[in-house]
Amino acid sequence: MAASTFYVNETNTPPHVMTIAGPPKGATLRTAAGYLSWFPATDADIGDEIVQYHIQISDDPAFATFKVDTQFAAPIPPPSGEYVSINRPLHMLDGYGTLGTISNFFWRIRAQDSRFSWSSWTSGGEWFIYGVPPPNPANFTRNANGSMTLSWDVGTENWYIQWAPAVTGVWQTIEGPMGVNAWTFTPDSNATSGFYRIYGE
C-alpha cells in the first residue's frame, strides 16, 4: 500500500457547558415524580462520548452543602434532535428523600466524557419548589349583604373548604374541589360559631 499518515491528539477537551431545559425557574415540583431536564451534552473532540452526568441539589445557592450529589450513566448513543432533552425524575436521584417539602432548592449539572474530563457546572441560578405550598389566607371579609368572602394568595389545584365547630373538632368538607382562589358564602344561621380552613391538593 502507499504510505499514509495519521495524527495523535493528546489534548482532551472537556464537554461543553450544558443547557437546562426545565423546569422553569421557580416552578413547583409537587411530587418526587417531577422531572429535571437538560439538553444532551456535547464534546468538541471527534469520537469522544458523554458517559456520565452529575447532578447536585442544594438549599444553598452557593452549593456549600448538598441534599443530592449523585452521578449516573449517560445514554449511549445520546438522543438526537433539535428539541430533544434528557429527563430525570427526582425519585431516581440518590438522596432525594432528604428534600424537605415546601422548600426552595437550587440545582446544577455537569457531564463527563470518555477520557474522564468534566464540563463546567451549569450556572444561572436554576431553582424549583418541592412540594405543594399551603394556602396563605389573605382576606376574610364580611360583605354588605351578610355574606363572607374568603380569599388566599397561593394557587394550586383542587381547593377544598372545611368547617368545624371548634379547632380541635371534626372538620367537614363543605365546598370543593375548586379551581379558584376565592370563595363567597353565607354562614349557616343555625351555627353561632365555627372555624373555616382551606387545603389544596
Residue 70 resides in a domain: yes
Domain count, the chain: 2
What backbone phi and psi angles, to 5 degrees, belong to 106? -105, 145
With respect to residue 8, please indicate whether it lies within any of the assigned structural domains: no
Please tell me whether residues 109 and 157 are part of one structural domain. no
In a domain, 3, yes or no: no
- Structure confidence by residue, pLDDT tens digits, 131-145: 876 666 568 888 999
pLDDT band at 75 (very low <50, low <70, confident <90, very high): very high
| Residue 89 pLDDT exceeds 90 | yes
CA pair distance 100, 129, nearest whole angstrom: 10
Is residue 100 domain-resident?
Answer: yes
Question: Shortest CA distance to 109 belongs to which of 44, 49, 53?
Answer: 53
Local structure of 57: helix, strand or coil:
strand
CATH number of residue 184's parent domain: 2.60.40
Give me the chain's average pLDDT, please.
88
142-187 pLDDT, tens digit per residue, is 899 989 898 877 655 678 889 898 888 899 998 888 877 888 988 8
Instruction: Tell me: do 79 and 107 sit in the same domain.
Output: yes
Mark whether 188 and 111 lie in a shared domain: no
* 93 and 185 within one domain: no
Tell me: pLDDT of 74 over 90: yes
- pLDDT for res 36: 97
Rounded Cα–Cα distance for residues 93 and 160 (Å): 33
125 plus 163 within the same structural domain: no
Of 114, 130, 146, the residue at which a domain comes to its end is: 130
Q: What is the CATH number of the domain that holds 54?
A: 2.60.40.10
User: What's the predicted TM-score (pTM) here?
Assistant: 0.67
How confident is the model at residue 13, as a pLDDT?
A: 92
Query: 29 and 98 share a domain?
Result: yes
Q: Which residues pair with 55 in a beta bridge?
A: 70, 109
Residue 1 lies in a domain: no
Residue 8 reports pLDDT greater than 80: no
Q: HEC states along 109-153?
A: EEEEECCCCECCCCCCCCEEEECCCCCCEEEEEECCCCCEEEEEC
Print the domain residue range for 61: 20-130
Report which of residues 18 and 83 the model is more confident about: 18
Whole-angstrom Cα distance, residue 119 to residue 110? Answer: 6
Same domain membership, residue 67 and residue 45: yes
157 and 74 part of one domain: no
* 118, 159: one domain: no
Give percent of the chain with pLDDT exceeding 70: 93
What number is the average pLDDT over the span 69-81?
92
Considering only residues 91 and 146, tell me which one the structure prediction assigns the higher pLDDT. 91
Q: Does the pLDDT at position 194 exceed 90?
A: no
Q: pLDDT value at position 176?
A: 87
Let me know whether 157 and 65 are in one domain: no
